[in-house]
Structure 1
Amino acid sequence: MTILVGHRGARGEVPENTLPSFVHVQQLGIRHVELDLHLSRDGQLMVIHDPDLRRTTGRHGRVDHWHSSDLTQLDARRNGPPCAQPCPIPTLEQLVLACDFDHWQWEVKSASRKRSQQLVQAIKQLHDSHKLHGKVTITSSSRSVLRAAQQLAPEIPRGFVAERAWLEPIKVAKRYDCALLVLNHKLCSPARLRHAKQQGLHVSVWTVNHAKDMRRLASMGVDSLITDFPGLAIATLQQG
């Protein structure tokens, strides 16, 4: 059976990468989620997709220029679906303490070598302190991030986020000993899916928001399906 993964919580239903979004996913009964990470100025892991604040909060500046205590006071409802309550940017630790999922995909965006190492070290510390062994995969499209994860936190599984076919997604995933291939759904052909599975990769496709694509990819046999609309996905796949 195809596993459903909430994208940034439930991006299409509740403002993305906020505690209310992940609580919503949990209430739907979905046990797997994906989120994005950046470091604050004081080295805290913040759950936010963009490196800057404008799109989700309307504020100016980069995440890494703000202290975590200030970031957690910002309302991240801007450009998201309607929500009656404020939706602050959470730290990853706040989210881990509030929600208990079976599996988390923690995506780290492109970063310099030094920044990649800092991010991975922060992830490893939180992962170990909260005893999340077997529940987390570090994912990235950045080879510098995957290399840092491979070297500094080899015990935490890795996933390659594949956006373009010319990068030979399966080959890159195997180069960094990845457990997951996080594949743009437009790149998911039956042949590529079969090859990935033969290589021992869990294939997680993103971002699947239309019922016809959900049905097609589930019937193709993808391992997990990342969606902005987990409520729609549940209804669609239950119908068959």
Structure 2
Amino acid sequence: MPALQIYGHRGARAEAPENTLASFRRAIDAGVTRVELDLHLSADQQLMVIHDPTLKRTTGLHGKVAQHSADYLRRLDARHALPDWVEPCPIPSLDQLFAACPEIRHYQLEVKSGSTEQARRVLSAILQLVEQFGLQERVTVTSSSRTLLRQAHTSNYPLPTGLVEEYGLLDPVKSALRYGCRMLVLNWTLCSPALLARARQTGLHVSVWTVNEPELMQHLATLGVDSLITDRPTLAMQLFPDAGS
């Protein structure tokens, strides 16, 4: 069985302002070199590292990411949800993250996409940056959007994809295979020995989120998940010191 891997959720969400360079640096400093993050397009079609489509929760400002230029968004302070953090933390663009953190060995790039046209734009923008930085072997594009995954599959998109499944209303293994995914990113509550066995038989990598308690980390590791996505990479590395790389 492959060794367990740890992914920092939005960098190190419980330890630094989420989806900022400070957060990804915190994960790296803890020994975690795999991260999960979220992407939205700016008004000028640049990929910005931010979870919500709106600015309110992380910056305290009103408005949507898609309404503003990348230059404007990069000047905003995204530590609103973690006000005790001393230094300002701008919203990074994806190219800034790639340039600033060469130590990261693998990215789960989660896209929340709506229309087919938006999916095309996001997938194209990701591929352009991944090729620019030579990260083809270090990126998986993940999404809960069947529209985006279908677009990737039918267009023979060259980067691997992963299905993000929160509720399990449909068979997640079948759904992942239908769209040619290599990864299944599960809400940990959906994880069961039977599902893991089926996923393993098909070659799917099973990554579970968001796992923050030590007892739950140990339980899921014992079940045999391939990777844990956690807000607390420092704690995870204390429990699994060989899992960061």
TM-score by shorter chain over 0.5? yes
Which amino acid in the other structure matches residue 191 of structure 1? A
- What CA distance in whole angstroms lies between the structure 1 residues aligned with 2:145 and 2:200? 22
Q: Check if 1:199 corresponds to 2:202.
A: yes
TM-score relative to the length of structure 2: 0.95
1:18-57 correspondence to structure 2 within 5 Å: 18-57=20-59
TM-score (norm 1): 0.96
- Look up the equivalent residue of 1:113 and give its one-letter code: T
For residue 114 of structure 1, what is the amino acid of its counterpart? Answer: E
Read off the aligned partner of 1:157 and give its amino acid letter: P
Give 5+ residue unaligned stretches, structure 1.
none
Following TM superposition, by how much is the alpha carbon of 1:81 offset from its aligned partner in structure 2, in angstroms? Answer: 6.5
Which residue is equivalent to 1:15?
Answer: 17
What corresponds to 1:97 in structure 2? 99
Partner of 2:7: 5
Query: In structure 2, the residue corresponding to 1:167 is in which secondary structure?
Result: coil
Q: Output the aligned Cα RMSD.
A: 1.3
Alpha-carbon distance between aligned partners in 2 of 1:49 and 1:98, rounded to the nearest angstrom: 19
**Alpha-carbon offset, residue 83 of structure 1:** 1.4
What is the one-letter code of the residue matched to 2:119? Answer: S
Whether 1:119 and 2:146 are equivalent positions in the alignment is no
Contact kept? 1:211, 1:236, Cα under 8 Å: yes
Q: Which runs of 5+ in 2 are unaligned?
A: none
What is the aligned-residue identity percentage? 52
Deviations 1:91-145 (A, max 9, x none): 0000000002110000001321111111111011111111111100000000111
Counterpart-to-counterpart distance in 2, 1:14 and 1:111: 29
CA contact (8 A) 2:116 2:148 kept: yes
Aligned to 2:224: 221
| Structure having greater relative contact order (Cα 8 Å, sep ≥ 6) | 2
Residue range with higher mean Cα deviation, 188-197 or 80-89: 80-89
Q: Report SS of the residue matched to 1:132.
A: coil
> Which consecutive aligned stretches of 4+ in structure 1 deviate over 3 angstroms post-superposition?
none
Alpha-carbon contact 1:8-1:228 (below 8 Å) kept:
yes
Separation in 2 of the partners of 1:47 and 1:229? 19
SS of 1:144's equivalent? Answer: helix
Q: Distance in 1 between matches of 2:31 and 2:219?
A: 22
The total of aligned residue pairs comes to 239
Compared with structure 1, are the counterparts of its residues 156 and 81 closer, same or farther at alpha carbon in structure 2 (3 Å cutoff)? farther
Aligned pairs for 1:161-176 within 5 A: 161-176=164-179
Match in the other structure for 1:208: 211
Residue pair 1:164, 1:187 contacting (<8 A) in 2 also: yes
